[in-house]
């Protein structure tokens, strides 16, 4: 399999991970950061914008994983490549958005 297919799977994992906070925030009716807010990535967008942005990310992730090459859930390399992209984006999101929502501070008892 060509290396470009693994790049597609990796980036697809990134998009799948990014869809979750936007969809969850939007469905809960909460504002959340999007690239469309002012300032970009720091300001908050409406719940409707978050649902749309989350669905866009989900669709792109689907296309990159299931419409490029022949993704096989039984192929460990395929799943690991998507999983690594998903994990790295999740960690990046936790660090980036934690500064706005108190997730980067450790509370002491």
Burial classification of residue 80, based on how many CB atoms lie within 10 Å of its CB (0-12 exposed, 13-18 middle, 19 or more buried): middle
What's the pLDDT band for 1 if we cut at 50, 70, 90?
Answer: low
pLDDT tens per residue, range 28-62: 999 998 889 888 777 899 999 999 999 999 999 99
- How do the domains of the chain map onto residue ranges? 3-94
Three-class SS state of 107: coil
The reported pLDDT for the residue numbered 39 is 86
pLDDT tens per residue, range 84-104: 999 999 999 998 887 776 666
pTM above threshold 0.85: yes
The reported pLDDT for the residue numbered 49 is 95
Rounded distance between C-alpha atoms, residue 17 and residue 21, angstroms: 8
The reported pLDDT for the residue numbered 105 is 57
The reported pLDDT for the residue numbered 43 is 86
Helix pair angle (47-66, 3-27), 10° resolution: 160
């Amino acid at each position: 399999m060509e290396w470009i297919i693994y790049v597609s799977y990796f980036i697809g994992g990134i998009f799948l991970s990014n869809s979750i906070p936007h969809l969850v925030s939007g469905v809960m009716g909460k504002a959340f950061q999007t690239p469309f807010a002012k300032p970009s990535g720091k300001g908050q967008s409406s719940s409707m914008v978050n649902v749309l942005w989350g669905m866009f990310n989900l669709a792109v992730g689907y296309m990159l994983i299931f419409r490029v090459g022949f993704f096989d859930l039984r192929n460990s390399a395929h799943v690991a490549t998507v999983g690594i992209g998903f994990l790295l984006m999740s960690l990046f999101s936790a660090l980036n958005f934690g500064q706005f929502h108190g997730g980067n501070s450790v509370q002491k008892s």
